[in-house]
Amino acid sequence: MEAGGSREREARNYLEKHRIMELLKYLTSVLLFIRPEKPREYLIAILEKLRIAKATGVAFPFFMDHSNITAMFDMMDSSKKGTISFVQYKEALKTLGLCPADEVLKDDGHAITLDKFKSEVLLDGPKKWTQQRTAALRAQWHLEKQQA
């Protein structure tokens, strides 16, 4: 029985060391959110971008844009009140890979509006993302806001 437990522990350590479960959860979340026509090709494209990012030292690509974030908020705001709960907000951050499960976020008691959600995800992300990715997202958000 010990040999099986040892192999299981080795497998778990391997998965943790290489962050495989995080990657699979992220890929699954993005796949289910975007629902591309050709899911295999889409996943291959994402993995290729990740490979290039790692090889070149470029920031980890973030696959959500302004419209995706709005759609995500709208799905959580099923009653169309214009707000989501703090619990929904934290789960969204986890789904986007912006909040580790063990990170403690402070609930200020207020519901999260779409503007606050966008601001938190797109503008206050420097703590979670590299400066390069954040600058690109800011520019995209401001451009989309001007076009709206």
Same domain assignment for residues 132 and 80: yes
Of 56, 83, 98, the one marking the end of a domain is 56
Same domain assignment for residues 9 and 50: yes
Q: What is the CATH number of the domain that holds 12?
A: 1.20.890
Lookup: tokens for 129 = 């993302």
pLDDT in 10s for each residue of the chain, 148 residues:
455 689 999 999 999 888 888 788 878 877 887 788 999 998 998 888 777 767 766 555 555 667 778 888 898 999 999 999 988 888 887 776 666 666 677 777 888 999 888 877 776 554 454 444 444 555 556 666 666 6
| 143 vs 14: CA distance, rounded Å | 42
Q: Which residues pair with 46 in a beta bridge?
A: none
Query: pTM for the full model?
Result: 0.48
Full domain range(s) for residue 9: 2-56
> Do the domain assignments include residue 61?
no
